[in-house]
């Protein structure tokens, strides 16, 4: 029997969430097309033949917007390395796609060992995204703890999470649903651990009716439609189409019009055509031109997100307020932050310790990070002026716009001085912390003009916020303007703390809105 892939897991989510966030050379924005939700499918209609070691191998192709961009290989069988009664599963995903003229190549491998009851024993995850160093994570269950080993930029950190024994391994529900196929109208839920996101998710599968579905070869067949949702991306419904044996022959997702098909190995390994698809352009939210939005004192936007309440998606804060208009429409007011007049270093307990501490993405103890901060600040003693100087330094010195890296750590950026908006934001956040000033990264949309068409657009972006004068104040090292005006719409923020899960999680509120959002400019107030 083949192994159907039912779950949306972190790997493809990480890909979609990190593949396109970035700000390119002005005036083009490199928005996020990021959402690493690996929506895998079952193998071909013919059962996969077990290998001599008892393992089974299946292959799938990945399409985005009608373009073949990669493949997935899955292997599962007895854990011959330790306990043969346990089950070892491994999934490899390879994707190649264009992003504003540069090719992004990603290879990720997730493996897990579980007991016959689905109890997680251990896992490993590795993502390769040249030229950045590979990132790796390993986990091992030890009683009521999950012991983690996380590697970023060639350095390893150990941590732990509380472990709930009722949470199953990432491969468990595949076996459960294979052995007990869903019937029309039936619904099941599973709590599983996502090694890619370092989080627990609840997956819900609800069977609908038979539908006629076109397969990869053009043939049409009546298949059972199953809607799959999970708590990491609650607003996204993935549809799986199953045959009489409960095998998923096709899986679709509204995110970037993704589709996956079960195919033989030879078909999966055919040459990719990902260079034909540019994810950056496809995720822009177009608007009429706005005159000097980044210098505006205040801008009021009317935001509509089909099926969602914008006031629950876009947070309120020191520079952003929300007012509900209808169930899926809200007025969002974005105001420029006033500069501190007499800024002082905040008290140690003014914010959580996570906003001052080193972590695996913001290595404030890295020699180059500290050296860059010292060079940028010079003999400046005023904390706010020091922040402005660091913002300017990062903006000026990250000259090479490298769009092929998804999310580099501050230490990697400090060494290479290249990247897009994510790299600008992480390096600035780390440099600020070396001066004992709390910082965090913000994720959302930013306005950029599109000269060829004479209008504008909002695209995915990351920037930095610092805590001074009792409030969070935005800085944007990509723009380097000394703070921001009304041209940013914020969706989330994070300290990037090691125990907060993978940073990709901060992109999820934005990702769920992409493709369903319209933005209308209601009012612009100049300074």
**Same domain, yes or no: 270 and 341:** no
pLDDT of residue 319: 96
Summarize pLDDT for 354-382 with one digit per residue, the tens. 999 999 889 999 999 999 999 999 999 99
Rounded Cα distance between 290 and 299, Å, is: 10
Query: Based on the domain organization, do 235 and 326 belong to the same domain?
Result: no
Instruction: Output the pLDDT for position 278.
Output: 63
Alpha-carbon span 251 to 502, nearest angstrom: 25
Question: Which residues, 6+ apart, have CB-to-CB distance to 501 below 8 Å?
Answer: 197, 198, 199
- Is 1 part of a structural domain of the chain? no
Looking at the fold, whether 206 and 312 belong to one and the same domain comes out as no
Same domain for 177 and 313, yes or no, is no
Judge whether 3 lies within some domain: no
**Same domain (yes/no): 75, 185:** yes
Whether 77 maps to a domain, the answer reads: yes
How far, in Å, CA of 99 to CA of 408, rounded? 16
Tokens of 467: 């805590």
Residue that terminates a domain, selected from 249, 281, 313? 281
Please enumerate in sequence order all residues whose Cβ is within 8 A of that of 282, keeping only pairs 6 or more positions apart, or say none: 33, 65, 256
Please state, for a pLDDT cut of 70, what percent of the chain lies above it.
83
State the average pLDDT over residues 328-334.
97
Q: Are residues 316 and 206 in the same domain?
A: no
Q: What is the pLDDT of residue 407?
A: 73
Examine the domain organization and report whether 467 and 381 are in the same domain: yes
Of 281, 303, 323, the residue that ends a domain is 281
List residues bridging with 23 in a β-sheet: 29
Residue 436 per-residue DSSP state: T
Q: CA–CA separation, 269 vs 248, rounded Å?
A: 20
Whether residues 143 and 211 fall in one domain: yes
pLDDT in the model for residue 42? 29
Residue of 488, 400, 388, 496 whose CA lies nearest to 31? 488
d(CA 138, CA 110): 10
User: Same domain, yes or no, for 267 and 337?
Assistant: no
Answer whether residue 182 shows pLDDT above 50.
yes
- Answer yes or no: do 404 and 458 share one domain: yes
Among 82-86, 204-208, 407-411, 494-498, name the one with the lowest average pLDDT: 82-86
Tell me the pLDDT tens digit for each residue of 488-527: 999 999 998 877 666 666 777 887 787 789 999 999 999 8
pTM, 2 dp = 0.75
| Domain end marker among 253, 281, 309 | 281
Q: Which residue has the higher pLDDT, 415 or 95?
A: 415
Q: Are residues 49 and 149 in the same domain?
A: yes
> Contact, 254 vs 487, CB < 8 A?
no
Tell the residue number behind the tokens 């609800």, with chain if given. Answer: 206
Which pLDDT score, from 0 to 100, does residue 275 have? 52
Average pLDDT score over the chain: 82
Specify the residue for token string 């010195």: 397
Q: Are residues 247 and 391 in the same domain?
A: no
Q: How many CB atoms lie within 10 A of CB 74?
A: 26
Q: Would 242 be classed as within a structural domain?
A: yes
In a domain, 368, yes or no: yes
CA-to-CA dists, residue 291 to 54, 134, 444, 452, 454, angstroms: 65, 42, 20, 16, 12
On whether residue 449 sits in a domain, the answer given is yes
pLDDT of residue 121: 94
Number of domains within the chain:
2
Write the pLDDT tens digit of every residue in 2-26: 333 444 344 445 445 444 444 333 2
CA 479-419-379 angle, to 5 degrees, is: 60
Asked, for residue 286, whether it belongs to a domain, the answer is no
408 pLDDT band, cuts 50/70/90, is: confident
Assigned domain for 437 exists: yes
For residue 325, the domain's CATH number is 3.10.620.30
Could you list the residue range(s) of the whole structural domain that residue 300 is in? 293-526
């Amino acid at each position: 029997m083949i192994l159907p892939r039912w779950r949306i897991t972190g790997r493809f989510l990480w890909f979609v969430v990190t593949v396109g966030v970035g700000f390119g050379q002005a005036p083009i924005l490199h928005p996020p097309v990021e959402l690493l939700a690996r929506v895998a499918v079952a193998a071909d209609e013919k059962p996969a033949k077990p290998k001599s070691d008892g393992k089974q191998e299946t292959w799938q192709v990945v399409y985005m917007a009608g373009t073949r961009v990669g493949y997935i290989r899955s292997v599962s069988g007895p854990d011959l390395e330790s306990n043969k009664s346990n089950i070892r599963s491994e999934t490899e995903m390879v994707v190649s796609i264009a992003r504003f003229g540069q090719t992004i190549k990603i290879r990720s491998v997730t493996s897990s060992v579980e007991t016959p009851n689905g109890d997680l024993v251990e896992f490993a995850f590795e993502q390769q995204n040249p030229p950045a160093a590979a990132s790796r994570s390993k986990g091992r269950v030890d009683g009521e703890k999950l012991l983690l080993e996380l590697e970023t930029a060639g350095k390893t950190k150990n941590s732990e999470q509380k472990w709930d024994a009722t949470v199953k391994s990432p491969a468990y529900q595949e076996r459960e649903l294979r052995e007990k196929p869903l019937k029309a109208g039936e619904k099941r839920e599973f709590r599983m651990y996502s090694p890619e996101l370092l989080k627990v998710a609840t997956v819900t599968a609800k069977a609908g009716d038979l539908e006629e579905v076109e397969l990869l070869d053009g043939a049409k067949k009546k298949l059972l439609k199953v809607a799959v949702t999970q708590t990491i991306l609650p607003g996204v419904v993935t549809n799986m189409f199953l045959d009489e044996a409960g095998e998923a022959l096709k899986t679709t997702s509204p995110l970037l019009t993704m589709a996956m098909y079960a195919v033989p190995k030879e078909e999966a390994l055919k040459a990719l055509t990902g260079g034909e698809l540019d994810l950056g352009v496809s995720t822009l939210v177009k608007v009429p031109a706005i005159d000097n939005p980044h210098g505006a004192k205040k801008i009021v936007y009317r935001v509509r997100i089909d099926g969602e309440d914008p006031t629950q998606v876009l947070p309120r804060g020191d520079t952003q307020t929300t007012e509900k208009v209808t169930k899926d429409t809200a007025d969002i007011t974005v105001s420029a932050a006033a500069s501190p007049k007499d800024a002082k270093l905040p008290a140690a307990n003014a914010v959580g310790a996570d906003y001052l501490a080193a972590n695996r993405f913001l290595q404030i103890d890295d020699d180059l990070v500290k050296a860059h901060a010292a060079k940028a600040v010079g003999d400046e003693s005023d904390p706010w002026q020091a922040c402005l100087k660091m913002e300017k330094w990062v903006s000026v010195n990250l000259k090479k716009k490298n769009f092929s890296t998804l999310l580099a750590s501050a230490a990697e950026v400090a060494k290479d001085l290249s990247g897009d908006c994510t790299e600008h934001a992480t390096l600035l956040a780390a440099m600020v912390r070396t001066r004992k000033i709390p910082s965090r990264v913000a994720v959302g949309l930013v306005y950029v003009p599109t000269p060829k068409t004479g209008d504008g657009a909002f695209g995915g972006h990351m920037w930095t916020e610092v805590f001074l004068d009792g409030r969070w104040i935005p800085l944007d090292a990509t723009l380097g303007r000394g703070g921001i005006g009304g041209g940013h719409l914020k969706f989330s923020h994070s300290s990037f703390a090691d125990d907060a899960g993978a940073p990709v999680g901060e992109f999820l509120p934005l990702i769920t809105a992409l493709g369903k959002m319209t933005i209308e400019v209601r009012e612009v107030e100049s300074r």
